[in-house]
Amino acid sequence: MNFLKQSRQFLTALVLILVLTITTACAGPSVATQRPEVPSVGQISTQLQRGNTSAGQKYGDWVVQTAKGLVKDAYVRDNNKLGVVIAPQVKPTEVRDLARSLVQGFHNNFPNQDVSVLVYGPDKHLILTAQYDHQSNQVQYQANS
């Protein structure tokens, strides 16, 4: 009887170890090892700076000041990502043209590299991404819903 009890405990422990090993291995990379591609709007609005470099800070400030009320907030990360929160008066038909202008100006200020412009709606949901490829001199647009 004692042998049967010990065998059952051993098998239970073995199954538990196997289940934990398999679920841990199949879970994928942990959150700490994943690299975020785009800062979330929550991160944007809690940050006091408009850029994580001095040049980015100045450019983010300049965008908001010169946008004539079309851009409520802006941030620059690593001198190659510009995120803007547009004002409610920007019409959906004007978003792409605004993104094109922002990509051109952003590339002129940070040349010789690929740059991205992320356009957030007034509700702070990402609505459009414009990516400039320095090699091809082309802009790719991706609408987000």
The mean per-residue pLDDT over the stretch 20-39 comes to 50
pLDDT for 51: 87
**Is 50 exceeded by the pLDDT of residue 30?**
no
How many CB atoms neighbour CB 78 within 10 A?
Answer: 12
**Closest to 120 in 3D by CA, of 89, 91, 95, 101:** 95
Beta bridge partners of 130: 117, 141
With 0-12 / 13-18 / 19 or more C-beta atoms within 10 angstroms meaning exposed / middle / buried, residue 85 is buried
Q: What is the CA radius of gyration of the chain?
A: 24
Distance CA(18)–CA(100), nearest Å, equals 54
At residue 137 the predicted structure's pLDDT band, cuts being 50, 70 and 90, is very high
Distance CA(62)–CA(8), nearest Å, equals 71
**Is 90 exceeded by the pLDDT of residue 31?**
no
Least reliable range by pLDDT among 12-26, 49-63, 115-129? 12-26
Tell me: the pLDDT tens digits for 43-64?
544 445 788 888 999 999 999 9
How many CB atoms neighbour CB 115 within 10 A?
Answer: 25
The mean per-residue pLDDT over the stretch 62-91 comes to 94
Distance CA(81)–CA(91), nearest Å, equals 23
Mean pLDDT, the chain, whole residue set: 80
pTM: 0.66
At residue 84 the predicted structure's pLDDT band, cuts being 50, 70 and 90, is very high
**Closest to 142 in 3D by CA, of 123, 116, 124, 121:** 116
